[in-house]
Every structure is written in C-alpha cells, then in structure tokens.
A and B are shown apart, each in its own frame.
Chain A
Amino acid sequence: MNAATTRELSYAEAIREGFAVALERDPRVLLMGLGVPDPKGFFGTTLDLQKQFGPDRVMDMPCAEAGMSGVMLGAALNGLRPVINHQRLDFALLAMDPMCTQAAKWSYMFGGAMKMPVVFRMILGRGWGQGPQHSQCLHSWFAHIPGLKVVMPTTPHDAKGLLIAAIEDDNPVVFIEHRWLHHIKGPVPTGHYTTPIGPARLARAGSDVTIVAFSYMVLEALEAAEKLAREGIDAEVIDVRCLRPLETSLLMDSLRKTGRLVVADTGHSTAGMAAEIIALASESAFDSLKTAPRRVCFPECPTPTSPPLSAAYYPRSGHIVAAVRASLGQPANPADLALPAGVELDKPNPAFTGPF
C-alpha cells in the first residue's frame, strides 16, 4: 500500500470503488441485484457502474431472491464471479436455500469437484422507522454455516479491501454492510488491494478491558472507550471484521492482557455471535478472566418503528460503558444511558432526512 495514493472516501464510495476495481480487473465479475443499476445506485454504492461496464455485467433482476441467487450459483460454477446484492438483509432470507443449503455445501458435498465463487452482499437497515422487517441483524445465522465465509467490515478501508477479497475468493462469501456506516469517511488506498478474510483488527489499544465489537458497534465501542478514557479506564477495542472463519488470536492476546471482556454485537444475544465470542474466550482463556464477560446486544424483541421505541431499542456507547463498569465491579451510573441533548437515534447522521 502506497500512502501517497491513500485519500479519504466514504464507506459507500469505497464499496463503489471496490466494485469498479473488481469489474475492471476481471471480466468474469458480475453484479446482479434488484436496483443495482437504478438512479439511486444502491445507496450510492453502485452509481454509474452499469454505464461504465455495461448491462451484461451490472444487471437488474426479477423480484425473485431465491431463484436469482440460485441462478448466480450456476453462473459461478460455470465461469463467472457474481455478486448478488440485497438492499436489506431481510430480502436475502428468501434465499436461505441457495445460500446455506446449496452454496455452502457445494465444495464439500461433491468432494471438491467444483468451486463456488459467489458473494452474497446484504445491507443491514437501522433507524428511520425501518421497523421489524427492514432491520434484522442475522449475521450469526450465516456464521453458523460451515462452508460460508462471513465478513462485516467497519471502516471504508476494510469495506473496499474485504469486498475485493470476497469477490476474488473461490468460496461463497456473505458480505454484510451496516447502513449507518455508509457515510463514515476514512483513508482508502486507490487501485487494487485486499484485506484478508479472517483476522480481526485492533481498533484501539488498551490495557484495562477488552471490548469486542462487530460492524457499526465498533464505532459505539470506540466512543465508549473515549468516555472511559476520560475516567482513566483504558479500553482495548477489537473489530471482529470476519465472523467465519473467526480468528481469535488477537482476542486471546488481549484477554491475557486485560482479563475483562465486553462484547458489543449489532444483533440479538440469544444464540448469537456475542455468545460465541464469550464461549471461545471461556474455553481458551478462562484462567485469564478476572470477572464474568458481558454482552451488549439487541433486546429480545423485533425492531419497533416509532422513534421513541427505536431509541429504547438500540444499544449505544453508554450501554457499553455501563457493561465495562460492571466488569470492573464499579457501581452503575444512570448517566451512562441518558441520551445526550440533540442526538436523534433514528438517523444515521445529522444530515439524513430520509426517506430511507
């Protein structure tokens, strides 16, 4: 990576650039999805790619998620490298058979006879009344399935690097973006580079407590770490980045140092990824733990639409701070959970005015 060629891009711009690089480098790469070439460009992530690469490579599709996912599997087996795009993860659930029962098993069940280089890209909705059916964070479902790879990049750098890595991988990769990351800016190298699928990222070094987070919750975890730092608590933040395969070496190193673990997951707690991280920590670093690990997850109900209910639903940095206090044996501080004046929890950024 050449620092001179690194500049600031938004996460959405980084995704778009990742697609452009992949399409440019390999004529087998194909984007398909309802609305991929539409005027809004899939939240700006596919803008003008059809103009640049043509309708045979950047395609719209019938409203048929299961069937079209299956078609992309056949295309992948027969020489293409398709990316199937869902504007909400919820729509991808219509395609659980092609994703989990077909693509994930294809190499194994045929004894390695074929490769399945396909990317299932899906965006997590949140806020602005996305409600129960535009907001499900079910990454742990996919992470449960052997044969799939599951990535959830947090930074624009990783969004582009992991997208290119996913497209170049010979296996099915579930690529999950959080809608609230799309406007986040960060340094992104120009041209081709990949971020390896597997290793976690050290987002912030610290020595008192390990905060492990996923996707958008990494930003909340970093904000929590800033708040804690003001009180003299030094938190380490690990961005999991890849849920399957899950490499735990960074986590274990951190736990041996801090002995305390808080996991912030953008998903439900029951049978979720946070539970998996805590189980792995308990199995591999039990002797290092000074106190019980804690989870910060969604409540066990579907996402409500109304703004006040939505505000009560989503955990934020204060919840992480509260969990860290508990892990340190400190008394709870009700101020942690108070909503600061002017913060609107149903908007991804102050400039956002809808409609989606």
Chain B
Amino acid sequence: MIPHAPADLGAALLESMVRIRKVEEAIAAHYPEQKMRCPVHLSIGQEAASAGVCAALRPDDLAMSGHRSHAHYLGKGGNLNAMIAEIYGKETGCCHGRGGSMHLVDLAAGFVGAVPIVGSTIPIATGLAFADRQLKRDRVTVAFLGEAATEEGVFHESVNFASLHKLPIVFVCENNLYSVYSPMSVRQPAHREVWQLAAGHGVTAHQGDGNDPLAVYELARASVAQARSGQGPVFLELKTYRWREHCGAGFDNHIGYRTEAEYQSWRERDPIATFERRLQAAGTFDAARFAQFNARLDAEIAQAFAEADHAPFPAATTLMNHVYAAS
C-alpha cells in the first residue's frame, strides 16, 4: 500500500465506504414506505471521495457540504441515528425535524452543515477557515462540492478570497458529470478541465481518481497538510459517478439523459468492489474483521431505522422555535 499510511488504513477506508453505501441502500430500500417524506440525494458510487478525504482529517477539522451530503456527514463521523431520524422528520433528528435529508449537521463531529442551494456553503466554509485563521486555531476546513457548483459565482469569489488570504481550506469537488440531468457538455467548455478553474485563482489544484479511496486519501493528506501549514488552500477534482437517480432512491438510466453503456462502464469501476479486490491481492484484506464489521454495521443500521421510525415527531407547538437563536 503506501509506506507511511497507518497499518489499518486500507481496512478503515473500505469500512468507511461500505458503511456509507449500506446506509444509503437502506434508505433506498425503506424510501417507498413513504415515511421519509423529503427528497434524498444518494452518493452510491461516489463513496471513495468522502472516505478518502475524511480519513485525512482530524476529528476537530470542519466540513460542509451541499444537497448530496449523506456520505460527507457519515465520513466525517456524523451521528447515524440523528441523520436517519432527521430524514424521517423526527424530533430526535439532527435538526429536530426542521431540515430533512438536505440539512444535515453534527457539530460534535465537525460537520457544520449542508444545504441544497448549489454552491452556497462554499463561501460559508471559506468563512469557517477565515475565522480559524483569525482566531489562530490550526484546524482545516473541507468544502465538499459538486462540479456544477464551480459554475456558480460564489465558487470563484470564495477561491479568490481563500487564495488571497492563504486560508486553511481544501475544496473537494466530486465531478460526477451531471447536474440533475444536465451533462458537462451543456455546462462547461470541453477544452478546459474543472481543476484548471481553481488553478486560475492561484491555488494548488489537482485532479484525481475519485473512485480510488487510497488515491483520494493521498491527495487529501498532502492537501490538508499544506492548508494547515499556512501555505494556502488546495482544490481537488475527484472524478466519479452516481449510480442512482439525481434525486430519489431509484435508477434513472431509462429516461435517456445518459447511456446504459456509460453507466455500466462506471459500475465496473465500483470503488468498493475494486478496492476489496485490491486489498485481497495485496494480502491485507482481513476477511474475519470485515465479516465482523458487516455484522455490526447491519445491526447498527437496522437499529437506526427502527429508532427513527418509532421516535416522536416534533410537537406542533414547537413550530416557531429556533426562528431566532436563544440568547
């Protein structure tokens, strides 16, 4: 594997990816029950990005995300029960039922929030890094974004400011080729790569295989180290692909915006199956550990859904709570 990596890094990355996928597959399985009454945007197929980046972060480092945020929340260590309860609209949810799938938060895990207006958390994450710099803390912030967010003005405004002030932030762009159903070809010029946009603002920028958790980890480790040391922000473009529909639990290849052949070519590059084979080939796959992990994980997920299902809804009398912060 990699010489300086922790001995169990491979297993940790695999487990992180499997956890994200199994949680999202459980969401997909339960979604037709009509108890999760909010949009869901699944990251199935894109798990390596969250797993690799979050493995390079300290627990007290910060992260923010957009509408497709389950993986980032879980990768950063967000509370699973609070996430599922939130998607069920329950009082025990991480936003007490005010947010739903698109508004996850777990401050204890350093996950400072996700919102669905594309690009809108990029400047906010930049502001987290700005405050850490001002207050002389050595934390790093990660802004997770999709490639469509690089088309928003605030992306450029944020990267320019982060570059100007050498802020401790890593912009992690998962390029899954589609914004809802709009392909890259109608949104960005063919001759220019996404990472080059950030490079134009004078920040270190890399492109990597977003389906390879080790490659992601290596890029993220170096990027986080650079950002933390005061040498300025880094932008990572991670190439990946979502398997399921833009919004919802099903598949949407039949509606004609992408080809079955393209989809199948990415399925063959399944980040989890590929990485498991790689660990086996390297002789570092611990089948017994993985089996135990899977059993624990299945139980953890089943319990999270059962608890969310049985948890109380917020009382209607609390409708007006939290409009303003309690002082």
Chain A interface residues toward B at CB < 8 A: 30, 56, 61-62, 64, 66-80, 97-98, 101-102, 106-117, 146-147, 149, 169-171
Residues of chain A within 8 A of B325, CB atoms compared: 107, 112, 114-117, 170-171
Does B117 contact A76, Cβ atoms closer than 8 Å? no
B128 CB–A CB distance under 8 Å: yes
Does A68 contact B134, Cβ atoms closer than 8 Å? no
Nearest-Cβ distance from residue A326 to partner chain B, whole angstroms: 38
The interface centre, meaning the residue of A30, A69, A97, A108 with most chain B CB atoms within 10 A of its CB, is: A108
Nearest-Cβ distance from residue A209 to partner chain B, whole angstroms: 34
Q: Which of chain B's residues 304-327 have a Cβ closer than 8 Å to chain A?
A: 321-327
A68 CA / B161 CA spacing, docked (Å): 8
Residues of chain B within 8 A of A67, CB atoms compared: 123, 126, 153-154, 156-158, 160-161
Across the interface, name the chain A residue whose C-beta is closest to B122.
A70
Residues of chain B within 8 A of A109, CB atoms compared: 95, 98-99, 103, 115
Nearest-Cβ distance from residue A332 to partner chain B, whole angstroms: 44
Residues of chain B within 8 A of A116, CB atoms compared: 325
Does A78 contact B132, Cβ atoms closer than 8 Å? yes
Q: Which of chain B's residues 160-176 have a Cβ closer than 8 Å to chain A?
A: 160-161, 164
A213 CA / B97 CA spacing, docked (Å): 40
23 A–B contact pairs at CB < 8 A?
A: A64-B154, A68-B161, A70-B122, A70-B124, A70-B154, A70-B157, A71-B130, A71-B161, A74-B125, A74-B127, A74-B130, A78-B127, A80-B135, A97-B117, A98-B120, A102-B115, A102-B117, A110-B113, A111-B98, A112-B96, A112-B325, A114-B107, A147-B323
Q: Which of chain B's residues 74-120 have a Cβ closer than 8 Å to chain A?
A: 93-99, 103, 105, 107, 112-113, 115, 117, 120
Residues A75 and B131 in contact in the complex (CB < 8 Å), given A67-B123, A102-B120: yes
Which one, A72, A80, A111, A115, contacts B93 given CB within 8 A? A111
Does B123 contact A73, Cβ atoms closer than 8 Å? yes
Across the interface, name the chain A residue whose C-beta is closest to B130.
A75
Residues of chain B within 8 A of A101, CB atoms compared: 117, 120
B55 CB–A CB distance under 8 Å: no
Residues of chain A within 8 A of B130, CB atoms compared: 71, 74-75, 78
Does A78 contact B131, Cβ atoms closer than 8 Å? yes
A111 CA / B96 CA spacing, docked (Å): 5
Nearest-Cβ distance from residue A336 to partner chain B, whole angstroms: 42
Does B123 contact A62, Cβ atoms closer than 8 Å? no
Give the 10 A-B residue pairs with the shortest CB-CB distance, closest first: A74-B127, A67-B157, A70-B123, A111-B96, A64-B157, A78-B131, A71-B127, A74-B124, A111-B95, A112-B322
Does A111 contact B99, Cβ atoms closer than 8 Å? yes
Residues of chain B within 8 A of A72, CB atoms compared: 127
Does A111 contact B322, Cβ atoms closer than 8 Å? yes
The interface centre, meaning the residue of A64, A71, A77, A116 with most chain B CB atoms within 10 A of its CB, is: A71
A146 CA / B62 CA spacing, docked (Å): 28
B194 CB–A CB distance under 8 Å: no
Residues of chain B within 8 A of A64, CB atoms compared: 153-154, 157, 160-161
Residues of chain A within 8 A of B158, CB atoms compared: 67, 70-71
A169 CA / B326 CA spacing, docked (Å): 10
Residues A79 and B131 in contact in the complex (CB < 8 Å), given A102-B117, A107-B323: yes
Does B164 contact A74, Cβ atoms closer than 8 Å? no
Residues A111 and B97 in contact in the complex (CB < 8 Å), given A64-B160, A79-B131, A170-B325: yes
Residues of chain B within 8 A of A102, CB atoms compared: 115, 117, 120, 124
Nearest-Cβ distance from residue B19 to partner chain A, whole angstroms: 23
A64 CA / B164 CA spacing, docked (Å): 13
A163 CA / B130 CA spacing, docked (Å): 24
Does B98 contact A70, Cβ atoms closer than 8 Å? no
B129 CB–A CB distance under 8 Å: yes
Residues of chain A within 8 A of B161, CB atoms compared: 61-62, 64, 67-68, 71
A290 CA / B267 CA spacing, docked (Å): 75
Residues of chain B within 8 A of A77, CB atoms compared: 112, 124, 127-128, 131
Nearest-Cβ distance from residue A221 to partner chain B, whole angstroms: 30
Nearest-Cβ distance from residue A292 to partner chain B, whole angstroms: 33
Nearest-Cβ distance from residue B97 to partner chain A, whole angstroms: 7
Nearest-Cβ distance from residue B137 to partner chain A, whole angstroms: 9
Residues of chain A within 8 A of B126, CB atoms compared: 67, 70-71, 74
A112 CA / B323 CA spacing, docked (Å): 8
The interface centre, meaning the residue of B130, B325, B327 with most chain A CB atoms within 10 A of its CB, is: B325
Nearest-Cβ distance from residue A72 to partner chain B, whole angstroms: 6
A101 CA / B323 CA spacing, docked (Å): 13
Nearest-Cβ distance from residue A37 to partner chain B, whole angstroms: 15
Residues A110 and B123 in contact in the complex (CB < 8 Å), given A64-B157, A68-B161, A147-B323: no
Does A74 contact B324, Cβ atoms closer than 8 Å? no
Q: Which of chain B's residues 215-252 have a Cβ closer than 8 Å to chain A?
A: none
Nearest-Cβ distance from residue A245 to partner chain B, whole angstroms: 8
The interface centre, meaning the residue of A76, A112, A147, A170 with most chain B CB atoms within 10 A of its CB, is: A112
Known: A74-B131, A170-B327. 7 other contacts (CB 8 A): A62-B157, A67-B126, A67-B154, A80-B134, A111-B99, A114-B325, A171-B325
